[in-house]
Chains A and B, each alone.
Chain A
Amino acid sequence: MTTSQTPVLECKDVSISYYTRAGAVPAVYDFNLTVMPGEAVGIVGESGCGKSTVALAIMQYMGRNGAITGGEIRFMGRDMRTMSQEELRKIRGSQISMVYQEPMASLNPSLLIRTQLTEVLVIHEGISEDAAFKRAVEVLDAVRLPDPNRIMNSYPHQLSGGQQQRVVIAMALLSNPKLLLLDEPTTALDVTVEAGVVELIKDISQRFGTSMIYISHNLGLILETCDRICVMYSGQAVEVGNVKQVFDHMRHPYTRGLFSSIPLPGADRFSHPLVPIRGQLPLPRDRPKGCTFGPRCDFFQAGRCDDPVPMLDIKGDPGHEARCVRYDEIDWKKYRPKGLEAEPIVPGPPVLQIRNMKKYYEIRDNSIAAMISGTKSRFVKANEKLDFEAREGETVAIVGESGCGKSTLAKVLMGLEESTGGEVLVNGLEVGHMPVRKRPAGLISSLQIVFQNPFETLNPSHSVGAQISRVLRKFGVAKDRDEAERKTYELLDMVKLPREFAQRKPRQLSGGQKQRIGIARAFGGEAAVVIADEPVSALDVSVQAAVTGLLTDIQRKKRTTLVFISHDLSVVRYLADRIVVMYLGHIMEQGTTDEVFSPPYHPYTEALLSAVPIADTSVTKKHIVLKGELPSPMNPPPGCPFQTRCPRKIGAICETEMPPNKDMGNGHMIMCHLPDDVLRSMEPVIKVGRHDPDDTTPAAEMTAKH
Chain B
Amino acid sequence: MLLLAGRRLASMILIMIVISILLFLIFEGDKLALAARVLGPYSPMEGRLQWLEDNGYNRPLIVRYFSWLYGFITGDWKVSAQFNRPVLEFLAPRLANTAILGLCVFLITAMISLVLGVLSGIKEGGPLDRVITVASVFTTSIPEFASATFLVAIFVFWLDWLPGSSSFSNGFSWVELILPITVLVLYNFGYYTRMTRASMAEVMTSQYVRTAVLKGLPFKRVVVKHALRNALIAPFTVMILQLNYLLSGIIVTEVFFAYDGFGKAIYDAALFGDIYIVQAGAMVAVFVAVLSQFISDVGYTYLNPRIRFA
Residues in chain A within 8 A of chain B (CB atoms) = 59, 61, 64, 89-94, 97-98, 100, 102, 105-111, 115, 119-120, 123-124, 155, 157-158, 168, 171, 366-368
Bits for B111-145, please: 1 = Cβ < 8 Å to A, else 0.
00000000000000100000000000000000000
Other than the given A90-B216, A98-B214, 8 more pairs (CB < 8 A) read: A89-B218, A92-B216, A102-B207, A107-B208, A109-B305, A110-B229, A110-B304, A120-B215
| B22 is an interface residue with CB less than 8 A from chain A | no
Nearest B residue to A369 by beta-carbon distance? B3
Q: List 17 A-B contacts (CB under 8 A).
A: A90-B216, A92-B214, A93-B215, A93-B216, A93-B217, A106-B207, A106-B208, A107-B208, A109-B208, A110-B230, A119-B221, A123-B221, A155-B306, A157-B306, A171-B215, A366-B3, A367-B3
Provide the residues of chain B in CB contact with A106, threshold 8 Å: 207-208, 210-211
A155 to B217, CA, bound (A): 20
Provide the residues of chain A in CB contact with B217, threshold 8 Å: 89, 93, 119, 123
Contact A123 B229 (CB under 8 A): no
Contact B306 A91 (CB under 8 A): no
| B206 is an interface residue with CB less than 8 A from chain A | yes
Within the complex, the shortest CB–CB distance from B129 to chain A, in Å, comes to 13
| B213 is an interface residue with CB less than 8 A from chain A | yes
Contact B3 A155 (CB under 8 A): no
Residues in chain B within 8 A of chain A (CB atoms) = 3, 125, 206-208, 210-218, 221, 225-226, 229-230, 304-306, 309
Provide the residues of chain A in CB contact with B125, threshold 8 Å: 64
Known: A119-B217, A123-B218. A108 touches B3 (CB 8 A): no
Provide the residues of chain B in CB contact with A98, threshold 8 Å: 211, 214
A554 to B206, CA, bound (A): 43
Provide the residues of chain B in CB contact with A157, threshold 8 Å: 305-306, 309
Within the complex, the shortest CB–CB distance from B112 to chain A, in Å, comes to 25
A102 to B210, CA, bound (A): 12
Contact B215 A105 (CB under 8 A): no
A526 to B255, CA, bound (A): 72
A64 to B218, CA, bound (A): 18
Known: A89-B216, A123-B216, A123-B218. A109 touches B211 (CB 8 A): no
Contact A61 B213 (CB under 8 A): yes
A115 to B3, CA, bound (A): 28
Contact B210 A61 (CB under 8 A): yes
Known: A110-B229, A110-B230, A367-B3. A105 touches B206 (CB 8 A): yes
A547 to B309, CA, bound (A): 43
Nearest B residue to A123 by beta-carbon distance? B217
Within the complex, the shortest CB–CB distance from B243 to chain A, in Å, comes to 25
Provide the residues of chain B in CB contact with A64, threshold 8 Å: 125
Within the complex, the shortest CB–CB distance from B9 to chain A, in Å, comes to 15
Within the complex, the shortest CB–CB distance from B79 to chain A, in Å, comes to 47
Provide the residues of chain A in CB contact with B207, threshold 8 Å: 100, 102, 105-106
Provide the residues of chain A in CB contact with B221, threshold 8 Å: 119, 123
Within the complex, the shortest CB–CB distance from A373 to chain B, in Å, comes to 15
B207, B216, B225, B230: residue with the most chain A Cβ atoms closer than 10 Å: B216
Within the complex, the shortest CB–CB distance from B85 to chain A, in Å, comes to 48
A578 to B206, CA, bound (A): 44
Known: A157-B305, A158-B309, A366-B3. A91 touches B211 (CB 8 A): no
Contact B214 A59 (CB under 8 A): yes
Nearest B residue to A181 by beta-carbon distance? B214
Contact of A61 among B206, B214, B225 (CB under 8 A): B214
A124 to B217, CA, bound (A): 8
Provide the residues of chain A in CB contact with B210, threshold 8 Å: 61, 106
Within the complex, the shortest CB–CB distance from B190 to chain A, in Å, comes to 26
Contact of A155 among B206, B225, B230, B309 (CB under 8 A): B309
A163 to B213, CA, bound (A): 22
Provide the residues of chain B in CB contact with A107, threshold 8 Å: 208, 211
A108 to B214, CA, bound (A): 13
Provide the residues of chain A in CB contact with B226, threshold 8 Å: 108, 111
A168 to B217, CA, bound (A): 16
Contact B305 A155 (CB under 8 A): yes
Contact B309 A91 (CB under 8 A): no
A669 to B212, CA, bound (A): 50
Within the complex, the shortest CB–CB distance from A457 to chain B, in Å, comes to 25
Provide the residues of chain B in CB contact with A108, threshold 8 Å: 208, 211-212, 226, 229-230
Within the complex, the shortest CB–CB distance from A24 to chain B, in Å, comes to 19
Provide the residues of chain A in CB contact with B309, threshold 8 Å: 155, 157-158
Contact B215 A368 (CB under 8 A): no
Provide the residues of chain B in CB contact with A124, threshold 8 Å: 216
